[in-house]
């Protein structure tokens, strides 16, 4: 669930106020995106909307730096490591349910058995998922979502997309988000305040887990947008092809001049 959805589904917010907030945030995203809408010198064929994507990337980066990252740092520094580990295990256990269903849709018998086996063991022996007993028993986690399921059944990734408040994606994965959101067990909690708390805790815990990785990218990458895009697309492609993707065909150079005969 995105920040927009969290605001829009809250019982304590008036419908008109929710609508106005969503519209204001949408206008902010448009302003950031339009500021980056300049011609790209060396366009990447995987990223035909690069100018727009860079604007949204900049917007997300600003929101992260102003709100999410500081909260995640405080969470990391204040909450004991053992408790943060338990929180991460709890949400990973919920994710294993959706992973199991997607592994079944991909006809991956062993991965499906591992995923549902993990849920059964960690939910019962692991105190509702707070302890990852399954990993200690050597049962691997096989993360999967509906975007990956579509990819393994031959649906192309489509162009790279940056989604406001969400981040890197592709056209295929963006379309699959409708199913992935429904498959998230947190979104099935009927009590809205409790569901919102779980969503926010999951967001903060996930961001805290990637604080060090984000610092490495900030120090190493001259162009964080290109670095993030290439890393995401490469990882996603490796997932679809089980780490052994076919070689991508080189796109013809439009500036090349054919030899005269």
Residue 2 half-sphere exposure toward CB, CA atoms < 13 A: 15
Q: Quick one: average pLDDT of 209-216?
A: 87
H/E stretch holding 230: helix 224-240
Bridge partners (DSSP) listed for residue 160: 170
| pLDDT bucket at 15, cuts 50 / 70 / 90 | very low
Q: What is the pTM of this model?
A: 0.79
| pLDDT bucket at 41, cuts 50 / 70 / 90 | low
Q: pLDDT tens digits, residue range 131-160?
A: 999 999 999 999 999 999 999 999 999 999
Q: pLDDT tens digits, residue range 69-97?
A: 999 999 999 999 999 999 999 999 999 99
What pLDDT score does 135 carry?
A: 97
Residue 23 half-sphere exposure toward CB, CA atoms < 13 A: 6
Alpha-carbon span 40 to 171, nearest angstrom:
20
Alpha-carbon span 242 to 254, nearest angstrom:
33
Q: 118 burial class (0-12, 13-18, 19+ CB within 10 angstroms)?
A: buried
The residue ranges of every structural domain in the chain are 3-39+46-78+145-240
Q: Quick one: average pLDDT of 168-174?
A: 97
What pLDDT score does 25 carry?
A: 52
């Amino acid at each position: 669930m995105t920040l927009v959805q969290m605001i829009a589904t809250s019982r304590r917010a008036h419908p008109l106020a929710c609508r106005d907030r969503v519209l204001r945030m949408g206008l902010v995203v448009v302003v950031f995106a339009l500021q980056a809408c300049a011609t790209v010198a060396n366009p990447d064929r995987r990223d035909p909307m690069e100018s727009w994507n860079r604007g949204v990337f900049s917007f997300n980066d600003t929101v992260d730096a102003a709100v999410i990252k500081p909260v995640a740092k405080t969470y990391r520094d204040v909450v004991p490591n053992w408790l943060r580990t338990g929180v991460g295990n709890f949400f990973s256990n919920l994710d294993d349910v959706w992973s199991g269903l997607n592994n079944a849709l991909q006809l991956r018998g062993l991965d499906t058995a591992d995923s549902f086996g993990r849920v059964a063991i960690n939910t019962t022996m692991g105190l509702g998922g707070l302890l990852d007993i399954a990993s200690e028993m050597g049962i691997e986690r096989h993360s999967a979502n509906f975007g990956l399921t579509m990819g393994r059944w031959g649906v192309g990734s489509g162009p790279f997309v940056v989604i406001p408040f969400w981040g890197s994606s592709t056209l295929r994965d963006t379309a699959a988000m409708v199913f992935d959101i429904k498959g998230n067990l947190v979104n099935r909690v009927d009590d809205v305040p409790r569901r919102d708390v779980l969503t926010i805790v999951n967001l903060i815990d996930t961001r805290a887990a990637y604080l060090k990785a984000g610092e490495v990218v900030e120090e190493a990458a001259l162009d964080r947008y290109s670095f993030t895009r290439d890393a995401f697309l490469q990882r996603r492609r490796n997932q679809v092809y089980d780490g052994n993707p076919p070689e991508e065909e080189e796109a013809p150079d439009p500036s090349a001049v054919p030899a005269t005969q």
